[in-house]
Amino acid sequence: MPPSSSPPASAAIPANHPVEILRFNTCGSVDDGKSTLIGRLLYDSKSLMEDQIETLERSADITGGGQINLANLTDGLRAEREQGITIDVAYRYFATPRRKFIVADTPGHLQYTRNMVTGASSSNLAVVLVDARLGVIEQSRRHTYLTSLLRIPHLVIAVNKLDLVGWSEERFLEIRDAFESFLPLLDIKDVKFIPLSALNGDNVVDSSKHTPWYNGPNLLAHLETVHIGSDWNLHGFRFPVQWVNRPNNPRNASLHDFRGLSGQIAGGIVKVGQKVMILPSGLKSRVKEIWTLGGSLPEAFCPQSVTLVLEDDMDVSRGDQIVGLDLLPGMSTDLHAQVCWMNPRPLQRGRNYYLKHTTQTLQAIVTSLENRIDIHTFEPQPDPAELGMNDIGEIRIKTAKPVVYDGYGTNRLTGSFILIEQGTNQTVAAGMLMPPQEPVRPEYNDFAI
């Protein structure tokens, strides 16, 4: 390979440099062509470099009978290339002049729920692939259900391998109708159906001449333009305290009494002078300063990482939550949640786990299993004996200390938790909290102000 030489002037930085990140994940069943689709996106958007193409070509000679295998771009582990499958979530990065993209390629077979939840939990958008020959199968329903459960704001149904059904509009509409028969049961606001062939690149980056009956955007055009500005929660200030900032031997004498509360804003906006409440104690104070390395800010918003200084010196530590008074969260030791179970050892009533919610980790016990979702019908089946690997269901949990939370539908950061198995320290469940019955009613009133 020649050393890279100085760039031609024509290829300089695009005039409108990307300023926004869109995170998306691809999911589907084995052989639906997820990795091929990502490979195609990278290849056709010219995001691949010569040495990556060279590596692809080198492996094509060995395994692919001479044809470049785009899936080899994301299948990074030796076992994956040997078996031609994707084992774990792979992340890819590319940019167009409009946006930067973080792609999570989530495999569709073994441990599919675990992988999809890992890849999709922070996505703005999910791409569910469907093989046009097979239509809607169990995995399509499962992935669509998980997209809804995880409250991913945007969904793309990519009807792939349309070349193998003769670019049939009828087949495309059949599949769309099949999805639309169950989409109303789910909580997904924005759905787009796109007919494509990842292998040949039709409607991925370049619009296809084989689908004159389709007037919508190709996949990349949609990814570049879908509105994601309002995907973060800006209502109801939530600040889980992560770390208490106390300079030990400050060279600057004015910092001698500095006591900052560091964390990432998990919801809403905070302003200097704003009245806030600390939970679970219920004490109130005002924000004196919003400290950052670059200087103090008049206000800050989700998901910024800042350090708050309060007007009153009070007992606040990691795991406490500072909240705005306008929209109060719930607070309880009895939690009701939907969980995705991700471990071969099943979830049973009476088991103890660590529960990590925002910045606190608590002892927790599963007090009841309310239901298990039948993935074929999306119907809850009451009182299951256990939840097995990849199962989704509703449970009740008792925690050793109160948890300050919102419903997951309102706030993905304060409405989520994980369960950790004691001993092995494995993460065994992803939990999404049901909305609180009532907002917190603090025992302290305005004494602190």
Which positions from 243 through 262 interact with another protein, judged by CB under 8 A? 243, 245-250, 252, 255, 258, 260, 262
Minimum CB separation from another protein for residue 189, in Å?
19
Which positions from 347 through 406 interact with another protein, judged by CB under 8 A? 354, 356-357, 359, 361
# residues near another protein by CB under 8 A: 91
Which positions from 272 through 291 interact with another protein, judged by CB under 8 A? 291
Q: Is 147 in the site for another protein (CB under 8 A)?
A: no
Q: Which range touches another protein (CB under 8 A), out of 166-174, 376-384, 399-407, 421-429?
A: 421-429
Q: Which is nearer to another protein, 74 or 410 (CB)?
A: 74
Q: Which range touches another protein (CB under 8 A), out of 13-21, 174-182, 207-215, 371-379?
A: 13-21
SS3 399: strand
The residues, any chain, with a CB within 8 Å of residue 268's CB and separated by 6 or more, are 233, 234, 235, 236, 237, 238, 301, 302, 324, 327
Q: Is 100 in the site for another protein (CB under 8 A)?
A: yes
Dist. CA 240–CA 76, nearest whole Å: 36
Query: What sign does the CA torsion over 65, 135, 74, 96 have?
Result: positive
Structure tokens at 245: 């900032």
Which positions from 38 through 97 interact with another protein, judged by CB under 8 A? 49-52, 55, 58-59, 73-79, 81, 87-93, 95
Minimum CB separation from another protein for residue 273, in Å?
18
Q: What distance, in Å, lies between the first and last C-alpha atoms of the chain?
A: 69
Structure tokens at 218: 């190709």
Q: Which range touches another protein (CB under 8 A), out of 6-14, 183-191, 209-217, 271-279?
A: 6-14
Q: Which is nearer to another protein, 204 or 418 (CB)?
A: 418
Which positions from 299 through 338 interact with another protein, judged by CB under 8 A? 301-305, 318
Minimum CB separation from another protein for residue 350, in Å?
22
Minimum CB separation from another protein for residue 25, in Å?
12
The residues, any chain, with a CB within 8 Å of residue 447's CB and separated by 6 or more, are none
Q: Which is nearer to another protein, 17 or 133 (CB)?
A: 17
Q: Which is nearer to another protein, 204 or 433 (CB)?
A: 433
Q: Which is nearer to another protein, 182 or 354 (CB)?
A: 354
Q: Which amino acid is at 437?
A: Q
Minimum CB separation from another protein for residue 42, in Å?
11
Minimum CB separation from another protein for residue 19, in Å?
4
Query: What sign does the CA torsion over 75, 80, 84, 89 have?
Result: negative
Q: Which range touches another protein (CB under 8 A), out of 28-36, 158-166, 188-196, 263-271?
A: 263-271
Minimum CB separation from another protein for residue 340, in Å?
9
Q: Is 420 in the site for another protein (CB under 8 A)?
A: yes
What backbone torsions phi and psi does residue 190 show, to the nearest 5 degrees? -125, 110
Q: Is 5 in the site for another protein (CB under 8 A)?
A: yes
SS3 115: helix
Q: Is 107 in the site for another protein (CB under 8 A)?
A: no
In 175-274, DSSP assigns E strands to 190-195, 238-240, 243-245, 260-264, 269-271
Q: Is 148 in the site for another protein (CB under 8 A)?
A: no
**Which of 313, 419, 416, 405 has the alpha carbon at shortest distance from 362?**
419
**Which of 139, 117, 106, 118 has the alpha carbon at shortest distance from 25?**
106
**Which of 267, 385, 386, 397 has the alpha carbon at shortest distance from 338?**
397
Sheet with 260-264, side-by-side order of all strands: 238-240, 321-324, 275-279, 284-291, 305-310, 260-264, 243-245
Which positions from 203 through 222 interact with another protein, judged by CB under 8 A? none
Minimum CB separation from another protein for residue 335, in Å?
15
Buried (b) or exposed (e) across 228-246, using 16+ Cβ within 10 A?
Answer: beebbbeebbbbbbbeebe
Interacting residue with another protein among 121, 197, 321, 399 (CB under 8 A): 121
